[in-house]
Amino acid sequence: MAIKIIHLVLGKANPNRMNGVNKVAHNHTSQLFELGYDVEIWGITKNVTTEVFPRKFPTKLFRAQSFYRDLDPKLSYEISRLPRSTIFHIHGAFITDFYKVTLLLNDMKIKYVYTPHGAFNAIALNKSKWLKKLYIQRYEKNILRGAKKVHFLGQSEFEHISKIIQLNNKVIIPNGQNFDELFYDYHKMQRKNHPIIGFCGRLDIYYKGLDLLIDGFASYLLQGGKGELWLVGDGSDRPVLEEHVRKHTIQDRVHFMGARYGKDKLNRIVNMDLFCHPSRSEGSPTAVLEAAGLKRPLLVSTATNVGELIEKGNCGIHLHETTATTIAKALLDFDKIYENGDHIAMGEAAKKMVEAEFNWTTIAKKLIEVYESAVH
């Protein structure tokens, strides 16, 4: 029986300008298409008239609805036309339209796989704790129980879900990295002859641990650290972070570069000597894999779910405890690595780690096993 696979995301499903979740869904569907599977990607968005990202397979957009309204009639109609051999792969948690979709899928006896993308990590659940607790009881538990498989990206979320609900249908498959997406036009950016410490991603203080990074960087400077810090990305927390930098009076050593995309973003990452991701909560951060694929040494927290691999591969520094103190020490340690020139070998090892552990073809084949077991 031929399987039709539909990946459902929130947003316009454009991997070049959207978040990591959309990029993951794009890579899943693209790889499945290359392997000969019938795939589509569907996006639920406020703006359905936007230009659709070009793909070799269909991309369909549906209008997001308010909490108390039914699904977009167009979306309901498209689902009603699907054969029962279809498998849905739903990306993202705490989205009411997704709950409504699962109700319709259950009525149609169409199976689905659910990837919460880090939403059930312990730290993630602490933000808006009581509201999320109520939402989980009313909606998310039904989605989790109804899924043929709940797909987690890392060990921390896989383990923590047991404190919320007991599941026998869970599996771990990490994110991957497409090296075809890492082509860029290199040019050396203006810099001093000191290590460039960098972050690239959404400027979210709580999830990304950027308050700890700035505090740790300030402490590192006080202890004689020689580097400068580049923050590539944007978000509502940017003004708070800029004020945090001013309080430390380190404005001359911290540079906010705003949101960057495509080759411009990749070139900035390549001009970094150390890529930092001190997250409090993650699924599997795509920016870390991009940086590693670009041969950047890494400084990551355990919450990124790649710390142990980084230790094993000797391609960076794993923060077993993420505090300003541990970050400052790690940055001072990297200064010595940089001065000795050992960061070059670290970067080469980072690329080898991605090639070995985060191959999209291997990941797609694991997903196919999940889909086929769900349908059959």
The answer for residues whose C-beta is within 8 angstroms of residue 36's C-beta and 6 or more apart is none
pLDDT at 173: 93
pLDDT at 103: 97
190-233 pLDDT, tens digit each? 877 799 999 999 999 988 999 999 999 999 999 999 999 999 99
Where along the chain do its domains lie? Answer: 4-176+359-375, 183-357
Cβ atoms within 10 Å of 251's Cβ, excluding its own = 11
pLDDT of residue 51 exceeding 80: no
Distances (CA, A) of 322 to 79, 216, 243, 298, 318: 44, 10, 22, 14, 9
| Amino acid at site 156 | S
CATH architecture classification, 4-176+359-375:
3-Layer(aba) Sandwich (3.40)
| Matching fold, domains 4-176+359-375 and 183-357 | yes
Stretch 273-284: mean pLDDT, rounded? 88
Confidence of residue 136 (pLDDT cuts 50, 70, 90): very high
Whether pTM exceeds 0.85: no
* Ramachandran region, residue 214 (left: φ > 0; alpha: ψ -120 to 50; beta: rest): alpha
| Amino acid at site 196 | I
**Among residues of the chain, what percentage have pLDDT more than 90?**
76
The answer for residues whose C-beta is within 8 angstroms of residue 114's C-beta and 6 or more apart is 90, 143, 144, 147, 149, 150, 151
pLDDT of residue 15 exceeding 80: no
Stretch 320-324: mean pLDDT, rounded? 96
Confidence of residue 317 (pLDDT cuts 50, 70, 90): very high
Longest dimension (CA), the chain: 65
pLDDT at 99: 97
Reference 157, options 139, 176, 178, 175; nearest CA is: 175
End-to-end CA distance of the chain: give it in Å, rounded: 9
pLDDT of residue 170 exceeding 90: yes
For residue 19, the 8-state DSSP code is -
85-103 pLDDT, tens digit each? 999 999 999 999 999 999 9
Assigned superfamily of 183-357: Glycogen Phosphorylase B; (3.40.50.2000)
The answer for residues whose C-beta is within 8 angstroms of residue 13's C-beta and 6 or more apart is 22, 25, 26, 41, 42, 43, 52, 53, 59, 61
Span of 103-107, 123-127, 304-308 with lowest mean pLDDT: 123-127
